Amino acid sequence: MRLRLSVLALAALLAGPGLAQNAAAPADGAAAPDAAAQPGDIGGTYEFDPEHSQIVFSYEHMGFSTSHGFVNGLEGSITLDAETPANSTVEARFPMSAIRTIAPALDKDIYGEGLVTAATPDSVVTFRSTRVEVRDEDEADVFGELTLNGVTREVKLEVELNKAGVNPMSNLPAVGFDIEGSILRSDFNMGGFAPAVSDELKINIAVEARKG
């Protein structure tokens, strides 16, 4: 399963030129936001907004259908280095209990039968970036260590910056990303029922993060 997480790559994208453009001064005649809301230096730490950050994953079922699951309440932080975007970092986490499939009966089947055998619902899945490769002002590849089911492996996330600016609801600097990736279940000792249930999990992540 390779992970497509456009969301986790946000760390690198936020610090790129695209962010600076979004934080540009208002046009002549436009009212400037409060001083507290001025983006200023885009560098610093942004915290995920769990209410607007989510993972959606998909897998094939015996070639007949594609099933989906999701994780709500994704938490984490992004530290942006405005001077050297490649030095930006990101961390993300969620409890196993946050994973939902298309049916309650399948949710119960997650544990055991060669699936999640070394973790419990209280176990935390984590991702910590190890390096960032900036492709352009809006896109970057973020590499990092994913820990799942007691196994830690490096994954690559493809990240795209959606927007950077002041959130009009909170009046705080904010950023948003789309992330794509995939992983192989068998890489994390979760290869049960393969190939009837595809070994590869495709992943899409949406992340909003804010300062303050």
Distances from the Cα of 106 to the Cα of 80, 88, 118, angstroms: 39, 38, 18
Q: What is the pLDDT of residue 199?
A: 97
Q: Where do the H-state alpha helices sit in the chain?
A: 10-14, 17-22, 104-108
Q: What is the CATH number of domain 2-21+43-210?
A: 2.40.128.110
- Whether the pLDDT of residue 24 is over 70: the answer is no
Which pLDDT band holds residue 158 (cuts at 50, 70, 90)?
Answer: very high
Q: What is the pLDDT of residue 41?
A: 59
- Whether the pLDDT of residue 17 is over 50: the answer is no
Residue whose C-alpha is closest to residue 87's, from 28, 142, 22:
142
When pLDDT is averaged across residues 46-64 and rounded to a whole number, the result is 96
Work out the percent of the chain whose per-residue pLDDT is above 70.
81
- Whether the pLDDT of residue 11 is over 60: the answer is no
Q: What is the pLDDT of residue 19?
A: 37
Residue whose C-alpha is closest to residue 85's, from 15, 17, 22:
15
- Whether the pLDDT of residue 31 is over 70: the answer is no
- Whether the pLDDT of residue 148 is over 50: the answer is yes
Name the residue ranges covered by the structural domains of the chain.
2-21+43-210
Q: What is the pLDDT of residue 36?
A: 42
- Whether the pLDDT of residue 121 is over 90: the answer is yes
Range ranked top by mean pLDDT from 6-20, 46-60, 106-120? 46-60
- Which two three-digit tokens encode residue 51? 């209410």
The residue that leads in pLDDT, 27 or 95, is 95
What's the whole-model pTM score?
0.80
Q: What is the pLDDT of residue 113?
A: 83
On average, the pLDDT of the chain sits at: 83
When pLDDT is averaged across residues 57-86 and rounded to a whole number, the result is 93
When pLDDT is averaged across residues 157-171 and rounded to a whole number, the result is 92
Work out the percent of the chain whose per-residue pLDDT is above 90.
67
C-alpha distance across the termini of the chain, in Å? 35
